[in-house]
Structure 1
Amino acid sequence: MREGTVHHIAWRAKDERDLLSWRKLLKENGYNPTEVLDRNYFKAIYFHEEGGILFQIALDPPGFKIDEHKDELGKNLCCHLG
C-alpha cells in the first residue's frame, strides 16, 4: 500500500479584517505568510509550518457562483488563472 500526503490544510476567516489579523499574528510569531492573494473565487493567505505542510486561511466570498449559475455548478470544468 502506498501512503498519501497532505497538500494543504485550510481554515476560513470571517472577513478581510480577520484575514489580515491572522496574517499579522503569523508574522509576529515568526511565520512568513504570503500577502493576501486574490484567487478569483476567494482571497487567501498561505504559510508553511516547520514540517513543510502548507496552511491556507481564506475567505468564502465571492464564491464559485461568480461565473456559473448555481444550477450549473459542478457540471463544467472551469479554470481561472491569474
Structure 2
Amino acid sequence: MALMITDECINCDVCEPECPNSAISAGDEIYVIDPNRCTECVGHYDEPQCVAVCPVDCIPGDPDHVESKDQLQLKYEKLMAQG
C-alpha cells in the first residue's frame, strides 16, 4: 500500500530527500505523499526510507491505497520505465 503522512508531521524535512521515487513533497501545512509514486521503496530498499528516518513516526500505510508487494513492484517498474 502507499504510505501517507499524518498531521503529526513536524515538517522536519528529513523524509523528502530520502524518497527514491520523488513521491514526497511539501503540502500546504505538512508534507504529502503522492500515492501514484509511492512504492514503499519496493524495488529500491528493503524498507520505506521515509519511515526509517521519520523522528515522530507519522508515516503509516494509507488505507485508501492498499496494494500488494507485487502491485508495488509493478508500479516501481512502470516508474523506472518512464524515467
Using structure 2 for the length normalisation, give the TM-score.
0.30
- CA radius of gyration, larger in: 1
The structure, 1 or 2, with the larger RCO (C-alpha pairs under 8 Å, 6+ apart) is 2
Using structure 1 for the length normalisation, give the TM-score.
0.30
